[in-house]
Amino acid sequence: MNFMEQSGLDAAFDAIGSILGDRLTTSLAVREQHGKDQTYHPGAVPDAVAFPHTTDEVSAIVRICAGHQVAVIAHGTGTSLEGHIAALRGGITIDLMAMKRVLEVNAEDQDCRVEAGITRQQLNDHLRDTGLFFPVDPGADASIGGMTATRASGTNAVRYGTMRENVLGLTVVMADGEIIRTGGRARKSSSGYDLTRLLIGSEGTLGVITEIRLRLFGIPEAISAAVCSFPSVEDAVNTVILTIQSGVPIARVEFLDTLSMKACVGYSGLEGYAVAPTLFLEFHGSNAHVAEQTETVKGIAADFGGGDFQWAAGAEDRNRLWQARHDAFWACKALRPGASAIVTDVCVPISRLAECVATVDEEIRRAGLIAPIIGHVGDGNFHLVMLVDLDDADEVARARNLNRHMVEKALSMGGTCSGEHGVGYGKIGFLDAEHGPGTMRAMRQIKQALDPQGIMNPGKIVEI
Amino acid sequence: MNFMEQSGLDAAFDAIGSILGDRLTTSLAVREQHGKDQTYHPGAVPDAVAFPHTTDEVSAIVRICAGHQVAVIAHGTGTSLEGHIAALRGGITIDLMAMKRVLEVNAEDQDCRVEAGITRQQLNDHLRDTGLFFPVDPGADASIGGMTATRASGTNAVRYGTMRENVLGLTVVMADGEIIRTGGRARKSSSGYDLTRLLIGSEGTLGVITEIRLRLFGIPEAISAAVCSFPSVEDAVNTVILTIQSGVPIARVEFLDTLSMKACVGYSGLEGYAVAPTLFLEFHGSNAHVAEQTETVKGIAADFGGGDFQWAAGAEDRNRLWQARHDAFWACKALRPGASAIVTDVCVPISRLAECVATVDEEIRRAGLIAPIIGHVGDGNFHLVMLVDLDDADEVARARNLNRHMVEKALSMGGTCSGEHGVGYGKIGFLDAEHGPGTMRAMRQIKQALDPQGIMNPGKIVEI
């Protein structure tokens, strides 16, 4: 594929510029800002950044890029973690953050339709008066478009599901600039191929998502959060396994290992919390049902040596607690000032989670790294935050090695190389081992069919 | 595409016969039995029927068919409703019903892996001692493979989701005979394209599903069912809308119109139940939570003029009630002995359901047809059972016309032409109107990419 021949690029700029005016820029500062996500993966600067206001404008941009074989990279808040937005082959980054309208809210049907650039917090602010909320919460205040494109999940997924379960339909600009709609307002459908699900998690490699129809949920009558520490990782995990087996619809259950608790206690002022393997729990429901769920889980936790529940029943305490959980990344970074974070995640069957964490713990020690572990334990998903000096080649090599071992361990347990961070180009090398050559061939065939020129976010997920 | 040149067919038979022996048959009776589903759609007889025992045998069959451009039709229990299994271009039907092993049950992770031919009741019988169950229940005791291939749902979907939400991964024989695995044991993953969801609902047009990994759920501590009648369809629907908005995790909520209640009362001996618009409800949870849910819904129903709840708390009463619901199709047929049933379904946003049912009701009267309405009302999905004399061309034309109007109405409300019956060839003509030309083109591109010869269940969903 011949990308970026200067003549084609110039012609594309001219054509797009005539539509967008100064909303197309080649300013180096803007380009650099758009070529790099929050991680250690090296960025790659696009040749220009476009700021469309409508799906039609996105369509026009992609059509022009297709005509000149110029790469197209969709961009939301830039909070992805596997190098998703690096313009590996140059091209034009489409920044969708000006598209943040709420197009519909249907309270009776508990759905809405939004533009890709709205963030989850902006959406929830908009919904405040309706009694409804959108539950998927990956931590960062990411855009709904980016969350859809990366199949995001996060703390609430154990109860409410991931983007996979909560997107009803999409408006997408395909690789030739055609605008298509997938899915619809019906809660379920058996009418043809599930293009919605195919596009969720496709990371901009099959099309640019410009609008998303979402499921919403009623804000529960009661919400209650608690913290409980355990003698060991295994005890914490077993508490979660039994909780789920008991049919308790726990809304969030987060695991923090001793080191990450130490980080959070220091960073977020969680004085009084034990520095030990810990669960952060949240219960949603009616008052009576929340009380019942809590009693059940307290009983289970006690059987596994869990300490007393420390409550955060008021909204303020609760927000402080979850803010601390969301800030855990920054808290961990503060454990080694000046260091960079190499962040990775895997997901395994929950029955194997304690063993997987123990193995990774042992590898951390052996590698001589500082690397707290934090997990969405109800899903069997956990994150490793390796704090390294990126200028120390040997340390970086040990961290990469640890990442590889963690993925291999997860795959050997029937797990996945990425529970929620996606593939980008950071994990592209693991897909063969996870899926096998036949399955990867099917993915490439689909990529080839929908993006025959390979212009959509090239170098991510699959190469054609 | 040249299907069924006799020489290619003969060569394929010889090659497959040498592997399967007498498990490949050209007996007319067997072929006829396999070319026709339970509906009015004309069947089409395959040239042979194969009965493989393993995924490897399925792979060998498909590989041979691919080599000779012979069509391949996957076949489960044959209970599909839109002509899915008709061998429109001849070829070889692969009957998967001998493949019914349970390959794994992981109680701690609440998942299992089964072969495609096991039925949902056989699976639940197998699971009985584990305290777990598989919730998706489309009524018929369909095979798990067929349920996956048609994205089945049914009465429990309002709480537990459809096959889309409950399949974790697949083993699939692709159009060239290659065996691939999709998904895995992790509860979530953001590792590449979601081939699992693409294949769910693909009706054998992209590959033959031979194994399925499923989510399981703990059997609830308490289950309670009730029946409640209402002054009008709208009152019944409004009760359901408010129930869902109130966050009550209702497990089943089925709507029967006056005519279908009349049918069920007569057929299933439900004496004492009112012949009026009726909801069948089921609640799952702890004893206390079921009691609380019930009180909430009773209050809501009373506000909409609902009658007293008639309880079926014991397992025997409850089974009788749900058996009556499952037998509703036969009960409806008995309303007009000797008539055939033209069955159809649509799904709309629940806020539009009462209006949609009212419109259809009016059309039924205008068309002079006998046609009870039954719905999975929590999802906005309802079925029409038109009882017609298939020899009366005018009556059949009126029924087809009504089907078309019902679909058009649903689409105009943002709904879908099929909530759970699928496309087969019965609804293939509605897909353009529902999805639009760009989306259909993407579906065709995917079909072309994964089945370039067009041998997989040709004539269903999309033509290439």
- pLDDT, tens digit (0-9, with 9 covering 90-100), for A231-257: 999 999 999 999 999 999 999 999 999
Determine the average pLDDT of the residues in A286-301.
Answer: 96
Nearest by CB to B186, from A179, A193, A419: name it. A419
Q: Check if the beta carbon of residue A164 is closer than 8 Å to that of residue A229.
A: no
- Residue to test with chain A: of B173, B190, B208, most A Cβ within 10 A: B190
Query: What's the rounded Cα separation, in Å, for the pair B374 and B345?
Result: 9
pLDDT tens digits, A392-424: 999 999 999 999 999 999 999 999 999 999 999
Q: Residue A314 above 90 pLDDT?
A: no
The answer to whether residues B379 and B419 touch, using CB atoms and an 8 Å cutoff, is: yes
Question: Measured between CB atoms, which of A178, A188, A380 is closest to B186?
Answer: A380
Q: Label residue B2 by pLDDT band (50, 70, 90).
A: very low
Here the tokens at position A23 are 């909303």
Please tell me the predicted confidence (pLDDT) of residue A30.
Answer: 98
Q: Do A347 and B187 touch (CB under 8 A)?
A: yes
Asked if pLDDT for residue B404 goes beyond 50, the answer is yes
- Site from A133, A153, A187, A214 to mutate, B interface, most B CB atoms within 10 angstroms: A187
What number is the average pLDDT over the span B13-34?
A: 97
Contacts of A446 in chain B (CB under 8 A): 193, 198, 446, 449-450
Angle at A117 between CA A111 and CA A121, to 5 degrees: 65
Task: Report d(CA A281, CA A301) in Å as an integer.
Answer: 11
Q: Are A255 and A278 in contact (CB under 8 A)?
A: yes
Residue in A187, A103, A175 with CA at minimum distance from that of residue A144 = A103
Phi, psi of A380 (to 5 degrees): 80, 20
Q: What angle do CA B385, B387, B392 make, to 5 degrees?
A: 140
Q: What is the mean pLDDT of residues A441-461?
A: 98
Tokens at B165, concatenated: 């939400």
Please indicate whether, in this complex, the C-beta atoms of A188 and B109 are within 8 angstroms of each other.
no
Q: Do A202 and B193 touch (CB under 8 A)?
A: yes
How large is the C-alpha radius of gyration of chain A?
Answer: 22
The SS3 call for residue B370 is strand
How does DSSP classify residue B104? Answer: E
- B138 with B153: CB under 8 angstroms? yes
A chain contacts of residue B218, beta-carbon cutoff 8 Å: 245-247
Task: Pick the closest to residue B364 from B261, B257, B280 (CA basis).
Answer: B257
CB pairs under 8 A between A and B: 296
A238 CA: distance to closest CA in chain B (Å): 10
Q: Which residue of A has its CA nearest to B199?
A: A193
Determine the 3-state secondary structure of B241 from DSSP: helix
Mutation target to probe the A interface, by most A beta carbons within 10 A, among B187, B196, B215 is B187
Q: Do B349 and A221 touch (CB under 8 A)?
A: no
Who's near B373: CB < 8 A, 6+ residues apart?
B255, B256, B257, B259, B260, B357, B360, B361, B382, B383, B384, B385
Q: Which helix (H) or strand (E) holds A342?
A: strand A340-347
Which burial class, exposed, middle or buried, applies to A46 when counting CB atoms under 10 A from its CB (0-12, 13-18, 19+)? buried
User: Among candidates A417, A406, A311, which has minimal Cα distance to A361?
Assistant: A406
Beta partners for B217? B133
Beta strands in B127-241 (DSSP E): 132-133, 167-174, 179-183, 207-215, 217-218, 222-229
- Across the interface, do B192 and A111 touch by the CB < 8 Å criterion? no
The pTM (predicted TM-score) of the whole model is: 0.97
SS3 category, B310:
strand
Structure tokens at A309: 């529940």
Per the CB < 8 Å rule, is A193 touching B443? yes
Q: What is the DSSP letter of B352?
A: G
DSSP A135: -
C-alpha B325/C-alpha B313 separation (Å) is 16
Averaged pLDDT, A24-51? 95
Least reliable range by pLDDT among A298-302, B288-292, B310-314: B310-314
- Residue pair B344/B232 in contact (Cβ under 8 Å)? The answer is no
The runs of H, that is alpha helices, within B82-203 are 120-127, 144-149, 157-160, 163-166, 195-199
Of B252, B278, B341, residue with least CA distance to B39: B341
> Average of pLDDT values for B47-63?
98
Please tell me which residue of chain A has the smallest CA distance to B157: A188
Percent of chain B residues past pLDDT 90, beyond the cut: 94
- The strand order across the sheet containing A373-376 reads A310-312, A222-229, A278-285, A252-256, A373-376, A381-388, A340-347
CB contacts of B296 in chain A (<8 Å) are 286
pLDDT above 60 for B3: no
Check residue A418 and give its pLDDT: 98
Among A190, A288, A435, beta carbon nearest to B192: A435
All residues of chain A having their beta carbon less than 8 Å from the beta carbon of residue B452 are none
Question: Which residue among B246, B288, B446 sits closest to A446, beta carbon to beta carbon?
Answer: B446
Task: Give contacts of A286 with chain B, Cβ < 8 Å.
Answer: 247, 292, 296
Rounded distance between C-alpha atoms, residue A411 and residue A427, angstroms: 13
A-chain CB neighbours of B450 within 8 Å are: 442, 445-446
pLDDT confidence of residue B238: 96
pLDDT tens per residue, range A103-152:
999 999 999 999 999 999 999 999 999 999 999 999 999 999 999 999 99
Averaged confidence pLDDT in chain B: 96
Which of A442, A209, A82 lies closest to B181, judged by CA?
A442
A420·B188 Cβ contact <8 A: yes
Q: Which residues of B touch A184 (CB under 8 A)?
A: 414-416, 434
pLDDT exceeds 70 at position A1: no
Buried b (16+ CB within 10 A) or exposed e, B270-302: beebbbbbbbbbbbbbbeebbebbbebbbebbe
Give a three-class secondary structure readout of B1-19: CCCCCHHHHHHHHHHHHHH
Report residue A97 as tokens.
């953050």
Per-residue pLDDT of B406-443, as tens digits, reads: 999 999 999 999 999 999 999 999 999 999 999 999 99
Chain A residue closest to B460 (CA)? A192
Confirm if B133 and B124 have CB atoms less than 8 A apart: yes
**Which amino acid, residue B149?**
A
Tell me what pLDDT residue A2 has.
Answer: 45
The DSSP bridge pattern shows strands B132-133 and B217-218 to be antiparallel
Q: What mean pLDDT do residues A357-378 have? A: 97
At residue B4 the predicted structure's pLDDT band, cuts being 50, 70 and 90, is low
- Number of helices (H) and strands (E), helices first, in chain A? 17, 18
CB–CB of A306/A240 below 8 Å?
no
* One-letter amino acid of B384: L
**A164/B188 CB distance under 8 A:** yes
Interface test mutation site (partner A, options B82, B106, B171, B191, max chain A beta carbons within 10 A): B191
Output phi, psi for B402, to 5 deg.
-65, -45
* Closest to A132 (Cα-Cα) out of A118, A115, A112: A112
Residue bearing tokens 């025992």 = B53
Judged against a pLDDT cut of 70, whether residue B21 lies above it is answered with yes
pLDDT at A159: 97
Residues of A in contact with B242 (CB under 8 A): none
Which amino acid does the sequence have at A354? A
**3-state secondary structure at position B108:** coil
Question: Is the Cβ pair A178, B423 closer than 8 Å?
Answer: no
Across chain A, what does the average pLDDT equal?
Answer: 96
Mean pLDDT of B314-332: 91
Residue from A189, A200, A416 whose CB has the most chain B CBs within 10 Å, to mutate: A189
Q: For residue A308, what are its two tokens?
A: 């007393």
A381 to chain B: which residues are within 8 Å by CB? 186-188
**% of chain A at pLDDT higher than 70:** 99
Chosen from A179, A191, A208, A293 to mutate, greatest number of chain B CBs within 10 A: A191
CA-based nearest residue in chain B for residue A443: B193
User: Does the structure show a pLDDT above 60 at B259?
Assistant: yes
- The two beta strands, B252-256 and B278-285, are antiparallel
Beta-carbon separation of B423 and A247 below 8 A: no
CA B203/CA B205 separation, integer angstroms: 5
Contact (CB<8Å) A190/B109: no
Q: Do residue A417 and residue B179 have CB atoms under 8 angstroms apart?
A: no
Q: Give the one of A174, A192, A441 whose C-beta lies nearest to B431's C-beta.
A: A192
pLDDT(B5) > 80 = no
Strand residue runs (E) in B4-69: 24-25, 48-50
What b-and-e string marks burial along A218-249, b requiring 16 or more CB atoms within 10 Å of the CB?
A: bbbeebbbbbbbbeebbbbbbbbbbbbbbbbb
Q: What is the pLDDT of residue A461?
A: 98
Measured CA to CA, the distance from residue A19 to residue A51 in angstroms comes to: 11
**Residues A349, B106: C-beta atoms closer than 8 Å:** yes
Partners of residue A296 in chain B, C-beta under 8 Å: 286
pLDDT digits (tens, 9 = 90+) for B117-134: 999 999 999 999 999 999
Asked if A198 and B193 come within 8 Å (Cβ–Cβ), the reply is yes
With b for 16 or more beta-carbon neighbours within 10 A and e for fewer, the B39-74 pattern comes to bbbebbbbbbbbbbeebebbbbbbbbbbebbbbbbb
